Amino acid sequence: MIEADPTLPVIRTSRDFAATPEQLFRAHTDPELFARWVGPDTTATRIEHWDASTGGSWRYASTHDGTEYRFRGCFHDVRPDRIVQTFTFEGDPDGVALETLWFEDLGDGRTRLRTQSLVDSFESRDAWLRSGMEVGVNDGYAKLERMIIDGAV
Amino acid sequence: MIEADPTLPVIRTSRDFAATPEQLFRAHTDPELFARWVGPDTTATRIEHWDASTGGSWRYASTHDGTEYRFRGCFHDVRPDRIVQTFTFEGDPDGVALETLWFEDLGDGRTRLRTQSLVDSFESRDAWLRSGMEVGVNDGYAKLERMIIDGAV
């Protein structure tokens, strides 16, 4: 589920996984695991910098059809139940999103992953939605589900 | 000037200083200078951690009437014309603002400092406005003006 808030420049996603909060936290903080699932099926991700701790930062490059796209940000908060980080696509260096991820324990080994991306204008938010982010989110989470089934996380 | 945007959960400030962009940048990135001017006249600030570079982080404590209030965040972007950082008051650890500061050269040794604080709800934004932030902003910038006149920056 991906939805745009009508009154806030926010994009929210929600997806339930057959995994514990600890597994999803690991999939978002371990750089080798993260690089394996993030983004569309057609891209490959290389981590360039990774310090997934409160006050740390990150940078990675995604390659699609021979072109590299770089993303970077800092980790405001890395807690077992929540990650807050900033996000910039370096092709648009003035654009910044504040991203929050919640790992909500549903019991029975299931976890709801909710995310929120906050930007400072509705125009930027709508441009993100039009950029094909839905493919990246859906492909990525499908890869993550297969990694969970395979016992890789 | 402090204003709340009617359509976005944003607080903006703007103030012109008789200083160069370089001086204002230094006043926001040098921890000893920053601690001397930030916040209300009635508080004293002690820097606990400070790495004012892209991907760095910060933390400080402000003491008022014997009580300490702690604030922290990470630096998403530290550029001569713009600083982007996160901001949390540790008394409300789930609240996070994305702050942007612009140093706009007006020529003749004058610079417009604009700031924007973005949060994810109008309720949080309005609570910040009611918390007395205006006193902190105005007192702080008045102290910074005196430091500029005194040649301390």
ipTM of the shown complex: 0.95
Q: Is the pLDDT of residue B132 over 90?
A: no
Task: Please state, in angstroms and as integers, the Cα–Cα distance from residue B71 to each residue in A14, A55, B52, B91, following that order.
Answer: 30, 13, 15, 8
Place of tokens 């601690």: B35
Whether A143 and A153 have beta carbons less than 8 Å apart is answered as no
Q: What is the pLDDT of residues A84-112, one digit of tens each?
A: 999 999 999 999 999 999 999 999 999 99
Least CB-CB distance to B98: which of A54, A116, A118? Answer: A118
A120 touching chain B per CB within 8 A? yes
Least CB-CB distance to A120: which of B8, B57, B76? Answer: B8
Q: Which residues in chain A are contacts of B100 at CB distance < 8 A?
A: 96, 120
Hey, what long-range contacts does A98-103 have (CB within 8 A, 24 or more apart)?
A: A98/B86, A98/B96, A98/B98, A98/B118, A98/B120, A99/A73, A100/B96, A100/B120, A101/A28, A103/A21, A103/A24, A103/A25
Query: CB distance A98–B100 less than 8 Å?
Result: no
Q: Where are the domains of chain B?
A: 2-150
Query: Hey, of A83, A120, A125, which one would you mutate to test binding to chain B, going by the most B CBs within 10 A of its CB?
Result: A120
A55 touching chain B per CB within 8 A? yes
Q: Is the pLDDT of residue A131 over 90?
A: no
Q: What number is the average pLDDT over the span B55-76?
A: 96
Alpha-carbon distance A90 to A37, whole Å?
A: 21
Q: Is the pLDDT of residue B1 over 90?
A: no
Least CB-CB distance to A55: which of B54, B57, B100? Answer: B57
Alpha-carbon distance B78 to B100, whole Å?
A: 10
Q: Return mean pLDDT, chain B.
A: 96
Alpha-carbon distance A74 to A96, whole Å?
A: 11
B124 touching chain A per CB within 8 A? no
Pick the CATH number of A2-150 from 3.30.530.20, 3.30.930.10, 1.20.1260.10, 3.30.70.100: 3.30.530.20
A74 touching chain B per CB within 8 A? yes
